Each structure stands twice: as structure tokens, then as C-alpha cells.
Amino acid sequence: MSFLGAKSIFDQTLQDLYIEDESERKSVAFLLLEDGFDISKMDIILNKSVMIDELLLEEYVERINRQEPIQQIVGFTYFAGRKFKVDKNVLIPRPETEELISIIKSLQLDQPAILDIGTGSGCIAISLALELINSEVWALDISEGALKVAMENAKSLKASVKFLHEDILKEKSTELNLKRFDLIVSNPPYIRNLEKSQMKANVLDYEPHLALFVENDNPLIFYKRIADLGIEQLNKDGLILAEINSYLGEETRQLFEKKGYEQVEILKDFYGKDRFVKAKKGLV
């Protein structure tokens, strides 16, 4: 441990990071020092004398240079204004997914019962439980490792969420089967294996493939199951909101319409890409 000027630490970190784009390199350096060592931008601007574990910083920089996500290195990320633990068992929440929270809040649902399928870190379920007054939120995942992270996040954020270990492609538990919901929300696996070549190493090498990829010949397998589950367990006028593969927006819309859903919409994200499907349970 050493006392050093924050500006000199920042400059050295910039020099050691193997990131070609200068703007991205600065962003990563700021993020690493703030989230990993509690050194703020203001500390750096003022060149404040701070205590730093130089060996740990060196280790973190080496891991970033191996393209390990910085969120996994420091052990957390932010989603919808809250701090969530993340590790190798869960996807790192993306800014686009935060839009789901805004969309759902805009629906002004009255004391809704909500099911989050494939909860991962629990970021969607926990955010909804905290944002929607008198909501009842259930969340499930096939990964026990992911559920452990989600439960830790719910505890630290003081959110009331019921977590279940379930594989939705197989027979449901009796407990889940007996429950009815007003909203099903999901960010399921939707990236086709053929799209792996477009993925960055920090995703391919460090995030769980179970939560990312589907077979090329059945890319909508989870949406088919979510649609069927909605028919079985949504209340009258219940809704489904799910993140989708932007390349398969039209196919996803058609799937829900063929299943009897009404007012099926493909919603775009802030990049203008097809990102979500919204569907209302029909008279089926």
C-alpha cells in the first residue's frame, strides 16, 4: 500500500491499459479507479494523495488487458440506479435492458403479480419489486449459481422477491403452476450460435453461454415457451414484455400473434434497434 497522487495513478493506468481507442481507455481507467479503489474523478483532477494497493491495481489492469469485464473484476455494476453484485454466473446487465423497467413503470399496473423468467443477477425482478408499490414479484432461473447472486442482491437491496430454481423448457413445479400473473418479463437467451463471430471476447470468454446462446435452427425456443406459459398463467389482459434478438423482430412478432396474443408490438431501444416484444394475452 502506498500514498500516491491520484493523477499520477490515473496516468500510469492509462499507459498500462491495452485499449486502442483513447476515449474508451480513459473511461475504463476512470471506472476502474472509482469502482475498484474508490478514487473519484475529482480526486484525479485535484491530484489528491490517496492510498492505493499497487499490486492489486496491476493485477486488475492485467485482467482488463485479457478482456475480462471490469464489472466482474470489481464484482458489481449499476442497473437502474442501484448497485448489483455480478460474477461469472450471471450476465452483466446492459443499459438497454434498463428500458424494460421504464416501459413497465409507464404501464401503471395496479398491484401486479410479476414473473421474471431467467432472472440472472435479479436486476429486473429486484428493480420492479422496489419501483412498483404493492407488487408481488417472482423470479426463476435454471442456474443455481445465478440464483445465489440474485438472492444476495435482493437481500442487500432489501427487495422482496420469491426466487425459484426452474427450467422453463421442462415441466413446471407445482408451486409455479398454481400461480397466476399480470405480467411476464424476460431477457432470455436469444443470440444464435452463428452470431458468435460478432461477439467480443469479453462476452464470449467470461459471460455464461447458458444465458446467451440458442441453436441456429430454433432461435425462438424460449419465446415459444414464454408464450405458452403466458397462455397458461397470465390473468385476463395480462402482458408479456421480453427482450429480443434485433435480427428476429418480425419473426418474434409473428410467433406471438400465431399463439393468439393481441396488440403485439416490437419496441425499439435508444439505439433505434428492435429490442423488445410486448404482447397482450388474447381470448385463448
Which residues make up each annotated binding site for substrate?
187-190
Binding-site residue numbers for S-adenosyl-L-methionine are 118-122, 141, 187
Q: Buried b vs exposed e over 10-47: b needs ≥16 C-beta within 10 Å?
A: bebbeeebebeeeeebeebbbebbebbbebeeebbeee
Q: Which of 263, 274, 239 is nearest to 106 (CA)?
A: 239
Q: Which of 255, 258, 267, 261 is nearest to 279 (CA)?
A: 261
Those residues with Cβ within 8 angstroms of residue 17's Cβ, 6 or more apart along the chain or in another chain? 25, 28, 29, 61, 64, 65
Those residues with Cβ within 8 angstroms of residue 197's Cβ, 6 or more apart along the chain or in another chain? none
CA 75 to CA 235: how far, in whole Å? 38
Half-sphere exposure (Cβ direction) of 243: Cα atoms closer than 13 Å = 23
Which is it for strands 234-243 and 274-280: parallel, antiparallel or unpaired? antiparallel
Binding-site residue numbers are 118-122, 141, 187-190
Q: In the chain, which residue ranges form alpha helices assigned H by DSSP?
A: 6-16, 22-37, 41-45, 54-65, 70-74, 95-106, 123-131, 144-157, 174-177, 201-204, 221-233, 249-258
